[in-house]
Structure formats: C-alpha cells, structure tokens
Amino acid sequence: MNSKKIIQIVRYILDRSRGSINYMKLMKLLYIVDRESLEKWDITVTGDTYCSMKDGPVLSETLDLIKDKFKNEKQREWNRHFKKDLYDLSVRGNAAPGIDELCQSEIEIIDDVLTRYGGLSEWELVEITHNKKHFQEVEWEKAKKNGSSYKIELRSILSTLGRSEKQIEQILLENKKYDLELKIAKGKC
C-alpha cells in the first residue's frame, strides 16, 4: 500500500465530509471505491488489502493506521494528518497533503462514490456492503459468526465481479508487476 496515497485519499474524503467522518463509514466508502475501480479497471485505488470483520469488509492496513497500531514513520505521517476520537476520524492541522498521487479517473470514482453513498450512515453502508445484490460476497458471514476476521482475497472479489479464472490470473500478474514497478521507481527494491 502506498501510504502517501491513502493519506491523500482519506484527506480528500474528509475535506468533503466537513473535516470529520465515522471511521467505519470511511472504511465502507473506501471499500466501495476499490470495488468500483476493480470493476472498471481491474486495479484498486488504495492498493490496500481487505479483511472481513463482523461488520463487513475493511481495508486492513488503513484500519491499522486509524487504530494507531504501527510504530514507524508511516504511522507518524498518518498521525500528522489525522486524529481519532472514539469512532470519528478528523483532520489534524491545516497542512493538506495534496492529491498528486491520484489521477483524475481515481478522483472521479471517489467523487461518484461520495455522491451516491456519502449521505448514508455507517450502518446503512454496512447493510449495503453485506447485501448480496450489491456485493455478492459472503466472507463477512464467517467473521460475524465466529467473531474474528478473515482475509478477503482479491481473487474472490474479481470472481464476484464476473472475471474468468484466466482473466483473474492475468489481473493478479499485472497487479504484482505494477507493484514491483512502483517499488523500483521509488528506489525501494
């Protein structure tokens, strides 16, 4: 996951939500953004991984950042931009991180998701992301039943979106190649 990009995405959403949002609602909105990006382009906007918890799918690493679970520079950077108060995430300070990590089509997906779903409560979004008509995934049922989390594989989401096994293999290969190219470009390999 590109932490600079997720910070920019979250700040973009917070700026359109009067500077504060329930973090479960944020998780659902981000999941919907990634689902729609996968449906259109076979790649996610956030680059995060997913797990299903008792209230449905969440972005794993982003949730860990919100809950202040890391002890590294990525967490310190997150904490410079955001603060959590009980269940709300809000902007810390005035220094906006910009949106240079986002392309115009990603911004359009985020705006579209916010237009369609931004006025809903976190519990309405939980219901939507549990509704098979909309998302057709049942991984959350295991987590709800057992009280634990389960990783949601990208393969499962792509299958739910109607991709064939051959298409899924190609998409996964291209995503790995893209991730490696990003690491090389940033000098991390």
pLDDT for 134 equals 60
Pair 2, 99: CB distance under 8 Å: no
pLDDT, tens only, 88-127:
999 997 777 888 899 999 999 999 999 999 999 999 998 8
Pair 49, 62: CB distance under 8 Å: no
Does residue 15 form part of some domain? yes
Per the document, the length of the chain is 189
Does residue 51 form part of some domain? yes
The Cβ of residue 14 has, within 10 Å, a number of other Cβ atoms equal to 19
Residues 6+ apart with CB under 8 A from 157: 35, 38, 50, 137
pLDDT, tens only, 120-176:
999 999 888 877 666 655 555 555 566 667 788 888 888 888 899 999 999 998 877
> How far apart are alpha carbons 116 and 93 in whole angstroms?
28
pLDDT, tens only, 68-95:
998 999 999 999 999 999 999 999 977 7
Does residue 170 form part of some domain? no
Domain residue limits at 73? 3-153
Distances (CA, A) of 58 to 28, 93, 144, 170: 7, 26, 13, 25
pLDDT for 189 equals 34
Does residue 56 form part of some domain? yes
Q: How many domains in the chain?
A: 1
Does residue 45 form part of some domain? yes
Does residue 18 form part of some domain? yes
Does residue 181 form part of some domain? no
> How far apart are alpha carbons 134 and 146 in whole angstroms?
23
Does residue 158 form part of some domain? no
pLDDT for 55 equals 80
Cross-strand bridge partners of residue 119: none
pLDDT for 146 equals 61
Q: Is the pLDDT of residue 16 over 70?
A: yes
* Pair of tokens at residue 5: 């990009």
Q: Is the pTM of this model over 0.95?
A: no
